[in-house]
Amino acid sequence: MNHSAVASPRQAPMHALVRHIRDVPDFPGPGVVFKDLTPLLADAAAFAICIDALASPWRARRIDAVCGIESRGFIFGAALAHALDAGFVPLRKAGKLPARTIGVDYALEYGRARLEVHADALEQVGKPGARVLLVDDVLATGGTLLAARELIERLEARIVGAAVVVELGSLNARARWRGDVPLHAVLRC
Ligand code: AMP
């Protein structure tokens, strides 16, 4: 595996995380190397280090709500919301949320997808002008995170930043990401 950790004062624990990520070749299709984070989730110490590393850039920035992207973004996002003393807002695939939604359609590598959020999601957070952090497990081409950003911008929230566990550096999603909102990756692989 050719992993490199993002420079950080917590460098040693970050390197320890890498061995809890399993590369699964040709999943879900030929040529894709899937970053399987289930070994990391299953290891209590690794999961704790990961959530601490996800949270640390934002601790001093007062986050009111963490918006997690279905589905693995829910796992990390809910734990991150708890660590930051913030609420959690799910950004879901089409047709899953029960009340009135707004949505964004976006391109995937093959085909299209749609991300939705309850129209009153940030009212539920109970803080006008809520300060929001977006979170997902893996940043690949960046399309999903960009769609999440567009969706939350429509709710007129203040997006403080975006956080992912793994950034696939070779796909260069950062080139598509407007730098006025900081994007932090725990690991770049
Ligand atoms: P993208 O929109 O291309 O940045 O893809 C990001 C979304 O797809 C995230 O929600 C990931 O969970 C998933 N994903 C894309 N590529 C991978 C990969 N190689 N390993 C694991 N998850 C991936």
Q: Where in the sequence is the domain holding 149, given as residue range(s)?
A: 4-188
Q: Would the CB of 139 count as within 6 Å of ligand 1? A: yes
Ligand 1 pocket residue status of 143, Cβ below 6 Å:
yes
CATH number, domain of 169, equals 3.40.50.2020
Ligand 1 pocket test, candidate residues 2, 112, 138, most atoms within 8 A of CB: 138
Domain count, the chain: 1
Give pLDDT tens digits for 124-147.
Answer: 999 888 999 999 999 999 999 999
Q: Burial of 126 by CB count in 10 Å (0-12 exposed, 13-18 middle, 19+ buried)?
A: exposed
Q: How far apart are CA 182 and CA 162, in angstroms?
A: 6
C-alpha dihedral sign at 1, 52, 39, 77:
negative
> So which residues are the catalytic ones?
72, 109
Q: Which atom of ligand 1 is nearest to the CA of 140?
A: 4
Percent of the chain with pLDDT over 90: 87
